[in-house]
Structure 1
Amino acid sequence: MAGEFAPTTGVAGRYAGALFDLAKEAGAVAAVEAEMKALSASIDASQDLRDFLKSPIYDRADQIKALTALAQKAGFGALTTNFLKLVATNRRLFALPAMIAGFAARAAADRGEVSAEAISAAAMSEDQTKALRLEIESMVGKAVNLETSIDPDLLGGLIVKIGSQMIDSSLRTKLNRLRTVMKEA
């Protein structure tokens, strides 16, 4: 399995790998993945939580207490709760978003899926998203978990990220290339 996905490296990769191994052993990969996704949504939604995770001014006991309360309120299982306590105990909360991403990548690879991200200038319709997912699946030969986001600065077009590869067909990039060519002429 290790060669089938782009691993998260460093501290985050080790923690994500350990959590995945424990979840797989317990038969709880889907449950832990859902809890990690909920935690990620909470982090994305709360600037205060992001600041808390990054800040070294909170002592270990406060971090453990806060994450335990968050896990209980969210209804997380024992494995996820204990994982969060361990991360707080070891003062690694700054890497929690990367740990979540690493866990998701391991879980997707275990299911034979590939994660991809599509960034567009405007919202894509369901039909466009489905067509893009099918095209990516035909390219990689695996099921694709496609996340979409919007970046109006692209002006038009699309950026697709699949693992470490990026296909940039955005209008912004094309205009920047044209600008560079015209400066050289």
Structure 2
Amino acid sequence: MAGRYATALYELAEESKSVDAVLKDLQRFDELLDSSADLKRLVKSPVFSAEEQLAAISAIFDKAKFTGLAANFIKLAAKNRRLFAVDAMIRAFRAIVAKARGELTAKVTVAEPMNDARLKDIKSALKDVTSQDVEIDVKVDPSIIGGIIVQLGSRMVDASLKTRLSAIQTAMKEVR
């Protein structure tokens, strides 16, 4: 379902020559979603009706001056009771845009938010490995404790502290 919505949005954005603007607006909404537990609850909870979700999203968008195709898309998702899948729709849209531009997308999981310099270093390292531009989809997951997990296509590198500690724990059990 997320793929169908994302494809429809991409076709509309392509037709109106606003793919970059839509991408930027979706990124902005994704950041809003990550920074607000209340908004996340509104989006994910089946307790709220479509009308309540639409009213709340509309109020948030008015206050944040969030307009355009991306805003209308998210409102449509709320109206159709599909707001719970908006994060998957945003990821699918990013993947479609990346594929159309010939870019690769890497999923990067870190324990705490990264600064721009570190993000740039990771992009550069991935470009050296793949010889292509690589977009990065960053997810913050404190449960990995530290380190980084990078998934690029079917390849994955897990250098998280959680995995290392788990490996040490397994090795200690084998010693007994």
Q: TM-score of the superposition, structure 1-length normalised?
A: 0.77
SS in structure 1 at match of 2:123: helix
Q: Relative to structure 2, which stretch is displaced further, 38-47 or 156-165?
A: 156-165
Aligned to 1:141: 131
Aligned to 1:26: 16
| Per-residue deviation, residues 110-139 of structure 1 (Å, max 9, x unmatched) | 222222244456777766544432221122
Q: Distance in 2 between matches of 1:96 and 1:51?
A: 13
Aligned to 1:4: none
Check if 1:89 corresponds to 2:59. Answer: no
Sequence identity percentage? 40
Amino acid at match of 1:172: K
Residues 103 and 181 of structure 1: CA distance in aligned 2, closer, same or farther (over 3 Å): same
Q: Relative to structure 2, which stretch is displaced further, 52-61 or 68-77?
A: 68-77
Q: Distance in 1 between matches of 2:53 and 2:30?
A: 17
Aligned to 2:29: 39
SS in structure 1 at match of 2:135: strand
Match of 1:75 among 65, 69, 77: 65
SS in structure 2 at match of 1:57: coil
Aligned to 2:43: 53
Residues 174 and 25 of structure 1: CA distance in aligned 2, closer, same or farther (over 3 Å): same
CA contact (8 A) 1:68 1:84 kept: no
SS in structure 2 at match of 1:169: strand
* 1:8-27 pair list within 5 angstroms: 11-27=1-17
Query: RCO higher in 1 or 2 (8 Å CA, sep ≥ 6)?
Result: 1
Q: TM-score of the superposition, structure 2-length normalised?
A: 0.80
Unaligned runs of 5+ in 1: 1-10
Q: Distance in 2 between matches of 1:74 and 1:102?
A: 24
Unaligned runs of 5+ in 2: none
* Count of residue correspondences: 175
Residues 25 and 147 of structure 1: CA distance in aligned 2, closer, same or farther (over 3 Å): same
